[in-house]
């Protein structure tokens, strides 16, 4: 142990051993009782009787409110206040809106709209992840979409601009699609008032749709397969979160579509060469047709969507090719086997079609950083491909800077952080990377 490590260890020991000032049981009971009373006071009103809610500074503080209060005139859609969460989700609000972040963990993001209007641009979720927005009237659960929640005078309106959301309103459960609106207590309805963030919502949705079309050109199976790598999920790459239009991918989009429509011709070529002799007789092995392969991969995707990860893993290992390997990696993530999943993604990054390699490499790097705490492994995964011009460029650059710093390479981390800040000054990691760039 170095002297510095000894110093820090001793300081930690001293701090851990220190006792908080003594507190009588009576004082403790009083604190607990007061907390319960204040929490009760802030509960939503269920009865018809009206009483004034005491929005004291203490109650507001207890709600962990993030107040996006901007001085000056009311913000229009292009001047909406923006907040980027650590997860990469973006929240835009109008003046005076009050949002509480209740849970910001990587797998569960939960926010509460206390007052005002907020637009949510949600990152696609990984297996087991969730994103929900609550008000006192209802809860909205999403899987990667663009939507608005507006709460005024104890009424909540939800407007979906892209994707689908699930709304829990008392005993009712409603699924709302793009272009639809919902008012608490009154179900689905067409609202003339589109809200202050309507044009921003359409703009964000349009960017996501454009990105989804680019990603769909490299879809895992043929055109008859389920969209994306997991049924119902939009493609994982989300270039619009860079805060700017992602640069067009370096591969020609027409070429990508042609590849997808031909299906996995590489797998078919492998199978055609598999005839062999047994007992002196030529044996012709069944050649997997494009339709057969498509069906198999679609089946595996369906198993993943149903969270049957063990079955999906077995099925994917029975198939050949980088697409099956990608699904195998997804199944391993679902089974919480991050090391194996990272290796599987890295294999895909080395062998997949050009368009899917960045996604695979980024997923491997994410596992190595988050689940395995391995900065060197993270850097190795990021080095498998070039992210330049892809929708993952911003996040890969930010991840590289942090990994370099965690690995102890301060100079390289500082340079990488500076590059990130030059290209993405408002990016999701800008706050943390400014410290590295100093």
Partner 1 sequence: MIAVLGSQPGTRRSHPEALDLDGRLDPSVLDRLAQHDRATLDAALRALFPDVRRRMFHMLGPRSDLDDAVQDALVEIARALPRFEARSSLRTFATRIVVRTAYRHFGRAKEQPLELVAVADVVDPESRAASREALRRLYRCLAELPEKRRVAFVLCCIEGMTPAEAAAIEGIPSLVMRSRLSRARDEVLRRLDGDEWLTELIQARGGA
Q: Which is nearer to partner 1, 314 or 340 (CB)?
A: 340
Residues in contact with partner 1 by CB under 8 A are: 4, 6-8, 10-12, 14-18, 20-21, 23, 27-28, 31-32, 34-36, 38-40, 42-43, 58-59, 61-64, 86-87, 102-110, 134, 366, 369-371, 373, 375, 378, 399, 402-403, 405-406, 408, 413, 429, 432, 435-436
Q: Which is nearer to partner 1, 128 or 177 (CB)?
A: 128
Q: Which of 247, 253, 215, 252 is nearest to 234 (CA)?
A: 215
**What does R_g of the chain's alpha carbons equal in angstroms?**
26
Supply 168's token pair: 């829990």
Number of H helices, E strands in the chain: 15, 15
Q: How far is the CB of 224 from partner 1 (least distance, A)?
A: 36
Q: How far is the CB of 186 from partner 1 (least distance, A)?
A: 24
Q: How far is the CB of 321 from partner 1 (least distance, A)?
A: 31
Dist. CA 165–CA 125, nearest whole Å: 13
Dist. CA 362–CA 235, nearest whole Å: 14
Q: Which is nearer to partner 1, 109 or 161 (CB)?
A: 109
User: How many CA atoms lie less than 13 Å away from 231 in the CB half-sphere?
Assistant: 15
Do the Cβ atoms of 68 and 83 come closer than 8 Å? yes
Residue 14 dihedral angles phi and psi, to the nearest 5°: -60, -45
Q: How far is the CB of 128 from partner 1 (least distance, A)?
A: 9
Please classify residue 386 by burial: count the beta carbons closer than 10 Å to its beta carbon, then call 0-12 exposed, 13-18 middle and 19+ buried: middle
Q: Which is nearer to partner 1, 295 or 418 (CB)?
A: 418
* Enclosing H/E stretch for 131: strand 130-134
- 299-322 in b/e form (b: 16+ CB < 10 A) is bbbbbbeeebbebbbebbeebebb
Q: Which is nearer to partner 1, 75 or 91 (CB)?
A: 91
Q: How far is the CB of 428 from partner 1 (least distance, A)?
A: 11
Q: How far is the CB of 227 from partner 1 (least distance, A)?
A: 28
Q: Which is nearer to partner 1, 40 or 279 (CB)?
A: 40
Do the Cβ atoms of 207 and 240 come closer than 8 Å? yes
Q: Which is nearer to partner 1, 56 or 224 (CB)?
A: 56
Q: How far is the CB of 19 from partner 1 (least distance, A)?
A: 8
Q: How far is the CB of 64 from partner 1 (least distance, A)?
A: 5
Q: Which is nearer to partner 1, 160 or 403 (CB)?
A: 403
């Amino acid at each position: 142990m170095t002297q510095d490590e000894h110093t820090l260890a001793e300081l930690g020991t001293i701090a851990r051993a220190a006792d908080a000032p003594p507190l009588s049981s009576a004082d403790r009971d009083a604190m607990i009782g007061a907390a319960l009373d204040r929490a009760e006071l802030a509960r939503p009103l269920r009865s018809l009787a009206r009483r004034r809610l005491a929005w004291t500074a203490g109650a507001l503080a207890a709600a962990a409110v993030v107040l996006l209060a901007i001085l000056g005139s009311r913000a229009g859609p292009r001047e909406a206040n923006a907040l980027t969460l650590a997860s990469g989700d973006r929240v835009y609000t109008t003046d005076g809106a009050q949002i509480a972040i209740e849970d910001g963990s990587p797998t569960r993001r939960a926010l509460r709209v206390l007052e005002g209007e907020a637009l949510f641009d949600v990152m696609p979720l990984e297996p087991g992840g969730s994103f929900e927005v609550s008000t006192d009237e209802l809860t909205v659960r999403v899987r990667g979409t663009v939507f608005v929640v507006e709460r005024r005078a104890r009424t909540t309106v939800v407007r979906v601009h892209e994707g689908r959301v699930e709304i829990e309103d008392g005993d009712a459960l409603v699924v709302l699609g793009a272009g639809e609106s919902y008012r608490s207590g009154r179900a689905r309805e067409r609202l003339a008032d589109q809200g202050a963030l309507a044009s921003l919502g359409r703009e964000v949705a349009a960017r996501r749709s454009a990105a989804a079309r680019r990603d769909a050109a490299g879809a895992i199976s043929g055109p008859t397969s389920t969209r994306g790598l997991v049924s119902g999920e939009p493609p994982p790459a989300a270039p619009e979160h860079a805060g700017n239009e992602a640069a067009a991918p370096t591969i020609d989009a027409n070429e990508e579509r042609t590849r997808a429509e031909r299906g996995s011709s590489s797998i078919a070529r492998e199978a055609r060469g598999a005839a062999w002799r047994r007992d002196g007789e030529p044996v012709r092995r069944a050649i997997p047709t494009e339709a057969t392969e498509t069906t198999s991969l679609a089946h595996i995707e369906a198993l993943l969507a149903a969270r049957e990860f063990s079955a999906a893993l077995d099925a994917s290992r029975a198939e050949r090719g980088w697409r099956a390997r990608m699904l195998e990696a997804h199944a391993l993530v679902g089974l919480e086997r991050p090391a194996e999943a990272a290796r599987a993604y890295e294999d895909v990054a080395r062998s997949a079609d050009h368009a899917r390699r960045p996604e695979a490499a980024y997923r491997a790097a994410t596992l190595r950083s988050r689940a395995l705490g391995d900065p060197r492994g993270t850097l190795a995964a990021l080095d498998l491909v070039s992210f330049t011009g892809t929708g993952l460029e911003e996040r890969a650059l930010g991840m590289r800077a942090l990994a370099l710093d965690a690995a102890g390479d301060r100079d390289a981390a500082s340079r990488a952080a500076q590059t990130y800040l030059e290209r993405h000054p408002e990016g999701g990691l800008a706050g943390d990377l400014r410290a590295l760039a100093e």
